[in-house]
A and B are shown apart, each in its own frame.
Chain A
Amino acid sequence: MTGFLVGLALKNLFRNVRRNLISGVAVIWGVALMILGYGFIDGLDENIIRTEIDTLSGHVMLRPQGYPESSLSAPVDMLEPLPQELLAGLAEHTWTQRLRFDVRLVSGPESIRAMGVGFEPLRDPQVFPRDGYDLKGAWPEQRGLVVGSRLARLLEVGPGEVVVLQVRTSAGSINALSIEISGVVTTHNPAIDNFVVLLPLDQAMSLVQAPGPSEVSIRLPRRGQADAVAAQLDGAWAAHTYMDAARDMIALNVARRKALGFLVLMIMAIAATGIANTVIMATYERVREVGALAAMGMTPGQVRAMFLLEGAALGLIAGTLGAALGAGANYYFSTSGVSLDALAESGSAVTFSTTLYSAFRWGPVLGGLAFGALVAALASIYPANHAANLDPAVAVRTD
């Protein structure tokens, strides 16, 4: 009997394909949006974390005790040489040191505030891979400046030209250095491209008269090791993981997820209304038929099950279409990515890569599908009960 009811429900579903498709469209969109939306937010999480690791923090970052957490200022009056104890702990890792400092970049009458970064020409690329960078010119080996591409554009300077770096030294006096631009880099991280100039560490240290670097970054074989290594090295200098740096941005994604969840719920509420309406219309159209079945002994429970199954099957089919659409689009964006260059142009100092790949996971695909079917089944409860309570005598009535 169960198989028979399922068969009948499915056959009934195809009686009015167009109407059912139309009422299923909201489910299709809801499920697809849910999958693609979560794919992008998850992708953004990963994007932020990966960019943070690859361009700014490494997996573990160490800074002198008391160094400000905020990346907006880079004081040089509290620096010290790398403690011996820390050097010993670093021996087994791939690491590099950087010196950050506030700088004013001057070219003719123009000047602009920037973040200076002194880097170790040989070791820096081992921690901060440069695979995805576009570089005009060359990385300096001993002397020279690499300018973030947007910064270069604002100052209208390029490789071979000379700019002046104005800084405040660790002693508080003003120092300036005339330096030739050896390269202009696009890292695709706006926090670098819009704000940063890089020069060899030795040159940077003598410019600001710093006794040591402002940070040490470590690259680990696996992300999962970051917490343990940070805990182990924390001591003379304070150890942080990439998550500490990415946390604020990731927290924004929690809010994004909530907003998306709300939007999906709204669409699903519309979908539920549409499906309930469709199933109600079906029960009205089939009053005589259902009455005949009831007259022949179909129980109210069986009538109810028949319409519930029909609604659930509608939801399952629409959910499957939505999941296929969402998964397909998500897969596409997880391999091709979308460009966020326009976003970076607004002068953002936030760390992310300007090519965003969505994260493809099966969980939301299956979840979305099940959610669509569930919403449809729930929406069918009222109409199904309505049909179940139908008086079998209506089938006989002639008017």
Chain B
Amino acid sequence: MLLKLDRVGKRYPMGGGHVDALKDVSLEIQAGEFLAFAGPSGSGKTTLLNLVGCLDTPSSGSIQLDGQDLGRMSRGQLGQLRAARIGFVFQSFNLIPVLSALENVEVALRLGGLPADLDRCEQALVDVGLKEQLHKRPNQMSGGQQQRVAIARALVKQPALVIADEPTANLDSHNGEAVLDLMRALNEDKGATFLFSTHDSIVLDRVRRTVWLRDGVVQKIEP
């Protein structure tokens, strides 16, 4: 089992009081899954993704990644864990504008403490269909191409887990479908685990499992 969430709660301070973004979420996720968290706005999708992505820690309950309890880790340890084992694909791509596609991918290797192997970076870009765009900067590429660079960047270190929060929200439907098909193919070929948060039917149509959230509570899991 890759991830095990046990009665996870997340409470944010809000005004004078607080808001429970997640309440008693228990969930198990296997390696190799292609899974989406879905639900209306404010239901806790991003909060949940941030917790399993080691960007944040739960207020209650426990999360285990490969048997390690994330709640016991310091900020620094979580950072190391993210660098080594977790890839991120962001809604707004978040590439470094002054670096080429290849260099953007290289950043992930360096931060992951891995040797800056250019062949490996190039292969990651070839895998996402950007053989011709290696030396282009983000502003010379379309949104779809930028998101592919982000996917290559997330996958180059062969992470245990790829976190993608609304990866299609800034793409038109054609590019959104292409990007999702690409991730699905990478999931099948390389066994990479993908966790999404989304409203988008493009994503929901392609994931193998969907966890429906409402007001911070798991409503149902399909299938």
Q: Chain A residues in contact with chain B, CB under 8 A?
A: 1, 4, 8, 11-12, 14-15, 288-289, 291-299, 391-393, 395-398
Contact = CB atoms under 8 A, between A and B. Distances in A.
A293 to B, nearest CB: 7
Interface string B44-55: 001001100101
B90 A395 contact: yes
Interface stretch (B65-73, B76-84, B176-184, B203-211): B76-84
B97 A289 contact: yes
Interface stretch (B104-112, B119-127, B128-136, B140-148): B104-112
Contacts of B108: 296
B82 A296 contact: yes
Contacts of A289: 94-97
Contact of A397 (B46, B95, B112): B46
Contacts of B83: 296-298
A299 B79 CA distance: 7
A393 B95 CA distance: 15
A296 B111 contact: yes
B81 to A, nearest CB: 8
B111 A298 contact: yes
A266 to B, nearest CB: 34
Contact of B94 (A1, A297, A391, A395): A395
B121 to A, nearest CB: 13
A398 B98 contact: no
Given A11-B99, A288-B92, 5 more contacts: A288-B94, A294-B79, A295-B53, A297-B84, A297-B111
Contact of A396 (B84, B116, B165): B165
7 contacts: A289-B95, A289-B96, A289-B97, A292-B94, A292-B96, A296-B112, A398-B92
Contacts of B1: none
A295 B88 contact: yes
A293 B99 CA distance: 13
B96 A297 contact: no
B90 A288 contact: yes
A2 to B, nearest CB: 11
B110 A398 contact: no
B37 to A, nearest CB: 13
A15 B139 CA distance: 13
A398 B76 contact: no
B104 to A, nearest CB: 10
Contacts of A391: 55
B55 A295 contact: yes
Contacts of B169: 398
A11 B98 contact: yes
B203 to A, nearest CB: 15
A396 B167 CA distance: 10
A361 B130 CA distance: 56
Given A293-B107, A297-B111, A398 B82 contact: no
Contacts of A1: 110
Contacts of A396: 46, 49-50, 53, 55, 88, 90-91, 165
Contacts of B53: 295, 396
